Amino acid sequence: MNPKEIITKIQELLITNNLDAYIIPSTDPHQSEYVANHWKAREWVSGFTGSAGTLVITKEIAGLWTDSRYFLQAEQQLIGSGIELFKMKVPHSHPYIDWLKNNLKENSKVSFDGKLFSVSLTKMIESSLTDYNIKIESNHDFIKPLWKNRPSIPTNNIFIHDIKFAGKSSIEKISQVRSIMIEKNVTCHILSSLDDIAWLFNIRGNDVKYNPVVISYALITLDNAFLFIDKNLDDDIKETFKKNNITILPYSKINDRINEFCKNQTILLNPSKINNCIFRSIPSSCKIIEDVNITTTLKATKNATEINNIKEVMVRDGVALTKFFYWLENNILQETITELSVDKKLQFYRSQQKNFVGLSFGTISAYNSHGAIVHYEPTKKTDVELMKEGIFLIDSGGQYLDGTTDITRTISLAKPKQEAINNFTLVLKGHINIASLKFPYGTKGYQIDILARKFLWDNYKNYGHGTGHGVGSFLNVHEGPQGISPNASSTLNINFEEGMLTSNEPGIYIENEYGIRIENLILCEKDKDTEFGKFMKFNTVSLCYIDKSLINIDLLSKDEIKWLNDYHKTVYEKISPFLNNDEKEWLKEKTKSL
């Protein structure tokens, strides 16, 4: 069936069930950003492949809500679907909840699958719509009967993440969680976030593309640790779990076991991460404490082993990138090079590096106007050839056993226009502003976001995405709880702690022309104690040259020039020992002082 046919079927189900609207999110039962194919219902119904968006279907119309990263992509992919695009966070736009309030009559009924909606979101929807006498029913799964060839829930093999990479054993981590549970007067902790569970139990898998996680739930009490997975475990893994006093139970039994094990307990859960169906299974005798998962902050603050590993990974990743850019510059007129072939070539160079497992996300290989689509991914249909002209943006990353990378570079393939040079330089100034920041302990991401945008704002320009996100250690490339964004929501109301790894990626996007983004990963470190308190700093750990042909040196301050020269010196010193002579000479020129 095509999107129009599927939507018609859902509208028929609305009529049959006496409902007025159905909401389809992008998430899975674990509130994941990237989901296994089994849960890509919104994509299956709409044809829109972006990672973020919500589809609302009423008896009369269907609408897709998404943010500025995907406006251009959604416009293209929704053609012929009959689905209207609603742009989020632009003047005069309305979130889908407000749209429902304004377009449904009193006593209307809105439905969704409660397994896919967090407790927080469900409460927000109920609170917003109840005031308008619109009722909620969260027990309808309209996708299951319609999606005939639906991919199954993945049951791929898992493996133990070696302590030489993890830095701490699962026993140590569980003990640490229990100590904090005792401090919080909690007797039971429910975990649904796949990366939190993978981190806690030192397990990895490939159930979700690009994210080495395992489809699972976990329940931690003061005496027991339960892991809910559907896997055929080999004897070594079974023995490891047994030794660590971890009980394995079927994935589908999470609700039953919560009802059985958690009676009269004080339960800690993150309402933004636990789905509404699980929440409803909690016995009424329980006291519920709503807070960020204990594992989330522990996972985000990398230990000494993880920090050392990620620094080594950055060298290997930087070598792959350097060899790739050298190849690109020297072959662009010698052979046909396209956005897709570039992606494959970079993956080849990464695959030559020690401990490489795969990509950390789909490569954004974007030539000229495609660069203005923030999360553009080339397909056979959209693929274009790179020529000796224009701007090329490539945002890519690798998963290694000892770390996760994410880096963006924008390069000119010929003599660039002055406007592009100036825009690139404004973005670079914002990037340096974040990278060189010293700040008092207790500083949060929304407090520093302006530093990345200031120079763009001074020129009446801006970008629509956040400036930075946390990054995992051989885990999700997007990891909480910290981030850099103008959004002061509770998820970003988090101190930068020593050991947190965060991206620094300001940009600018000129529709139908090009996109510019400069991204490195920065590690939060302690700087010094002063009479004014403890101060922190960022250490840029990504290693790849920044294209000097796109820099207007007249727009840079002396301190900014020094930062760039120092960075390029570090890049050359760390990367050049792994290059051949031609590559070394090429990199020496690319990293030569301004």
Residue-wise pLDDT tens digits, 398-421: 999 999 999 999 999 999 999 999
Q: Do 520 and 397 belong to one domain?
A: yes
Residue-wise pLDDT tens digits, 71-127: 888 998 999 999 999 999 877 788 999 999 999 999 999 999 999 999 999 999 999
- pLDDT (0 to 100) of residue 393: 99
Q: What angle is formed at CA 309 by the lines to CA 307 and CA 315, rounded to 5 degrees?
A: 110
Three-class secondary structure of residue 91 per DSSP: coil
| Percent of the chain topping pLDDT 70 | 99
Nearest to 270 by CA among 477, 481, 35: 481
In whole angstroms, give the CA distance from residue 450 to residue 445: 10
Token pair, residue 387, equals: 């020529």
In a domain, 542, yes or no: yes
Q: Do 293 and 316 belong to one domain?
A: no
Confidence (pTM): 0.94
Q: Do 203 and 86 belong to one domain?
A: no
Q: Do 214 and 350 belong to one domain?
A: no
- pLDDT (0 to 100) of residue 492: 64
Residue carrying structure tokens 């969260």: 138
The whole domain housing 294 covers 159-299
Nearest to 369 by CA among 513, 244, 527: 513
Burial group, residue 200, by CB count within 10 angstroms (0-12, 13-18, 19+): buried
Q: Do 243 and 326 belong to one domain?
A: no
Domain boundary (268, 299, 330) is at 299
User: How many helices and strands (H and E) does the chain possess?
Assistant: 19, 28
Q: Do 395 and 541 belong to one domain?
A: yes
CATH number for the domain that contains residue 195: 3.40.350.10
Q: Do 400 and 418 belong to one domain?
A: yes
In a domain, 153, yes or no: no
- pLDDT (0 to 100) of residue 69: 79
Q: What is the pLDDT along the chain (594 residues), one digit of tens a residue?
A: 999 999 999 999 999 999 999 999 999 999 999 999 999 999 999 999 988 999 999 999 999 999 887 888 899 899 999 999 999 987 778 899 999 999 999 999 999 999 999 999 999 999 999 889 999 999 999 999 999 999 999 989 999 999 999 999 999 999 999 999 999 999 999 999 999 999 999 999 999 999 999 999 999 999 999 999 998 888 999 999 999 999 999 999 999 999 998 999 999 999 999 999 999 999 999 999 999 999 999 999 999 999 999 999 999 999 999 999 999 999 998 999 999 999 999 999 999 999 999 999 999 999 999 999 998 889 998 999 999 999 999 999 999 999 999 999 999 999 999 999 999 999 999 999 999 999 999 999 999 999 999 999 999 999 999 999 999 999 999 998 999 999 877 556 789 999 999 999 999 999 999 999 999 999 999 999 999 999 999 999 999 999 999 999 999 999 999 999 999 999 999 999 999 999 999 999 999 999
CATH number for the domain that contains residue 584: 3.90.230.10
Q: Do 494 and 357 belong to one domain?
A: yes
Q: Do 512 and 455 belong to one domain?
A: yes
Q: Do 288 and 321 belong to one domain?
A: no
Domain boundary (112, 146, 180) is at 146
Q: Do 291 and 307 belong to one domain?
A: no
- pLDDT (0 to 100) of residue 490: 52
Domain boundary (299, 333, 367) is at 299
- pLDDT (0 to 100) of residue 68: 82
**CB-CB contact of 342 with 397 (8 Å):** no
- pLDDT (0 to 100) of residue 291: 94
Maximum Cα–Cα distance across the chain: 74
As a whole number, the mean pLDDT across the chain is: 96
In a domain, 117, yes or no: yes
In a domain, 154, yes or no: no
**CB-CB contact of 526 with 498 (8 Å):** yes
Residue-wise pLDDT tens digits, 531-569: 999 999 999 999 999 999 999 999 999 999 999 999 999
In whole angstroms, give the CA distance from residue 114 to residue 141: 8
Q: Do 142 and 41 belong to one domain?
A: yes
Give the rounded distance of the alpha carbon of 427 from its chain centre: 22
